[in-house]
Amino acid sequence: MRGRRSKDRPVCPVAAKRGVSIMMFAVPPVLLTLALTMPVSDKMPTFDVRGSCQAATQQMTLDAGRQKLCLADEGSARAEVAKHWSSYPAGDRTRCAAEAQLNGLPSYVDLLECLTLAREAKAEDGQ
């Protein structure tokens, strides 16, 4: 009887041993999914930008002094984003935060640029 459930054979032997419903296994992922879809845009994201600056300086074969400048730029961008974070529309915050870390190398400079461009585009459209 392959592919069919037998009434005397539990769907999940571990769950049956513990007297746990199989639905209990489905609840945590559902709750996790709900938590992930809740607006995380209220809180400004925290990025570790050291990897981004290191990758940029290596890719451009720049000296270590340039990496310090990169980190300073990231710090300035972070401060600017933090100052205006609540004034950006929630949708823009969520989208730009995701885009700023798309390549695995998060950047406050990218986040600020995205938020600024979104704001300018809406201003041009008269929204």
Query: Within a domain: residue 101?
Result: yes
Q: For the chain, what percentages of helix, strand and coil (3-state, to nearest 5) are there?
A: 65, 0, 35
Structural domain boundaries, residue 18: 8-38
The confidence band for 29, taking pLDDT boundaries of 50, 70 and 90, is low
Residues 34 and 58 in one domain: no
| Cα 122-124-127 angle, rounded to 5 deg | 45
Same domain, 68 and 108: yes
13-17, 31-35, 55-59: which has the highest mean pLDDT? 55-59
pLDDT tens profile 37-50: 444 558 999 999 99
Half-sphere exposure of 114 (CA within 13 A, CB side): 21
Place of tokens 């270590």: 64
As for how many domains the chain has, the answer is 2
pLDDT of 15 above 50? no
Q: Name the token pair of 112.
A: 């600020």
55-107 pLDDT, tens digit each: 887 877 767 788 889 999 999 999 999 999 999 999 999 999 999 999 899 99
